Amino acid sequence: MSSPLAHPPLIPLPRHRPTMKQQNVAAVATRNWRGESPEERRVQRRERLVEACIEVFGRLGAEKATIRDICAQARLTERYFYESFRSTEDAFDSVYAQLRQDLVDKVTSALAQAPMTIPELAGAGLRAFYTYIKEDRRRAQIILIDAFYANRKSANRSRTAIKEYVQMVDRLAKALYPELPPEFDVEMLAWGLVGMAIQVGTIWAISGFKKPIDAILSHNLYAWRGLQKWVEAYNRSQSMVPASAAAPSPGKAPGKTARKTISRTAGRTRAA
């Protein structure tokens, strides 16, 4: 027989009654204030925190930034920081994702309006990229420097973003010149060209953007013009007409294919 102490009687415990202060806090959290709902106020607090994160990460760098710095900049208590983010790493990832999407929108918009040739597309995309980081110097610190070293998640996202640009360049080149020889590795070349653009942008930002943007563009475009020259030389040697100048088949115009490539890249980036 089991001991009666093994099954103590269920004694109802007295209910905990919230204090008046707790009741007031709960009421404030769920009621409208100055015509704004709790959800609207929460969204506004997050926007203030994101702006504060851009300022603090862009000025101090991700390694030195603290939750206290961000909250002081936003003029909010740490309680509200944790309402939106789990940590400084989480906050950085959110800010990086937002800036990255802004950049993608700028670049894809510029590409969509450019003539469908390799040098023109490269010039439009690079100008949009360099203009974006120069307009707000904090962006360069976040996108070009800290994004690769702040934490593993942001580093993976950065590598994924670069890969998406590389694949877009690869598809654009093949759409404009579908008769390129299979041994010509456009994707490998694109890795080098995109990497060069990022490295040049990083050095430019660290030096305080001293050189004019046209000089930075000119140095980058030497390599892109070299790709164009190589394609033209190959076409001449094979007695081929560049796809961009040939009469396209119905529904298979290289320019249309290239523009679809730009649109698909932008769509995939938004979904990421």
Kindly state the average pLDDT of the residues 105-110: 93
Task: Quickly list H helices, 136-211.
Answer: 137-140, 152-176, 186-206
| DSSP tag of 33 | B
What pairs with residue 29 in β-bridges? none
Token duo for residue 224? 């892109």
Confidence of residue 249 (pLDDT cuts 50, 70, 90): very low
Kindly state the average pLDDT of the residues 243-271: 53
Would you say how long the chain is, in residues? 272
pLDDT per residue as tens digits for the range 211-223: 999 999 998 998 8
Confidence of residue 24 (pLDDT cuts 50, 70, 90): very low
Query: Would you call 5 helix, strand, or coil by DSSP?
Result: helix
What pairs with residue 33 in β-bridges? 36
pLDDT per residue as tens digits for the range 39-88: 888 999 999 999 999 999 999 999 999 999 999 999 999 999 999 999 99
Instruction: Give the residue carrying structure tokens 């010149």.
Output: 177
State the CATH architecture for 37-85: Orthogonal Bundle (1.10)
Domain ranges of the chain: 37-85, 92-271
Instruction: Give the residue carrying structure tokens 């995309």.
Output: 125
**CATH number, domain 92-271:** 1.10.357.10
Could you tell me if 213 and 127 are in contact, meaning their C-beta atoms sit under 8 angstroms apart? yes
Return the pLDDT at 64.
94
When comparing pLDDT for 65 and 267, which is higher?
Answer: 65
Query: Would you call 248 helix, strand, or coil by DSSP?
Result: coil
